[in-house]
Amino acid sequence: MRIDIITIFPELFNPFLQLGIVKKALEKKTVDIRAHDLRNFALDKHRMVDDYPYGGGPGMVLKPEPIWRAVEQIPQPRRVVFLTPHGRTFDQEKAWEMAQLKNLVLICGRYEGVDERVREELVDEEISIGDYVLNGGEIPAMVIMEAVIRLLPEVLGDEDSVVGDSFYQGLLDHPHYTRPEEFKGYRVPGVLLSGDHKKIARWRKKESLRQTLLKRPDLIKKANLDPEDRDLLAEIEAEIEEGLGGKEDRNEKC
């Protein structure tokens, strides 16, 4: 997969590309990431990429010509995405969709945004990472790249890690525990130490449903639950009604 980033601050991506799974994916040539300095595509000697908005008002607007020139030198087929609060909210489903692409182009906005002709004629899709304001699209680009790259083949050491992630099946992940077995008077749930894989799988599914019901009930409404899921959900709702299944119950007190 090739990812091209159009930005006025390409240096922001240097540490991102040199660490963790992104570095690993680059070393394995699973992904090719290129950050393009928008100023290199400016038309004047001063490398101007922004100008005052027609009609007046505060701030500057990114000019259409440099963005157009930057995108047009990227091979087809390409999916051109503009990172903006106007876009669809990024989620795991969109990450999976993007992970199937061959060429992805991310345009990082700045200032008051980009000339509308870029959005109307050059951009294929607009994406937001949340309802808040950032100075530009560089951090959203990193968020999207990390979410997408970890889904590519052989990037993660254990492919099952992807399957267990929150949102993979539309639910939040179950709680995780590691050594020590006892900490500050609280023990790891006994079922996880039992060696009974069937019971462990059931516990994890139930706790995934519990986490989702308590923290993101909106996801429960959209999840594709099977009969076992619905039975477990009924158990959880009964426990909540009875005041059971709280943190003190799930983390066994010594």
Chain centre distance of CA 175: 20
* CB neighbourhood size of 176 (10 A): 9
- DSSP element (H, E) containing 4: strand 2-7
Other CB atoms within a 10 A radius of the CB of residue 229 amount to 18
Spell out the long-range contacts of 218-223 with Cβ–Cβ below 8 A and sequence spacing 24 or more.
219/167, 219/170, 219/171, 219/172, 220/171, 222/170, 223/169, 223/170, 223/171
State the catalytic residue, choosing from 64, 85, 175, 189: 85
Q: Is 85 a catalytic residue?
A: yes
Residue 159 among the catalytic residues: no
The one catalytic residue among 2, 39, 112, 187: 112
Q: What's the CA gap between 133 and 34, in Å, rounded? A: 25
Q: Which amino acid is at 125?
A: E
Tell me whether residue 210 is one of the annotated catalytic residues.
Answer: no
**Best CA proximity match to 220, nearest among 164, 170, 166:** 170
Q: Answer yes or no: 131 catalytic.
A: no
Q: Which residues are CB-contacts of 232 (< 8 A; sequence separation ≥ 6)?
A: 202, 205, 206, 209
Instruction: Classify strands 125-128 and 79-89 as parallel, antiparallel or unpaired.
Output: parallel
DSSP-derived letter for residue 114 is: B
What is the token pair recorded at 32?
């090719």
Catalytic residue among 146, 165, 173, 235: 165
From the candidates 4, 110, 138, 150, give the one annotated as an active-site residue.
150
Catalytically active residues are 85, 112, 150, 165
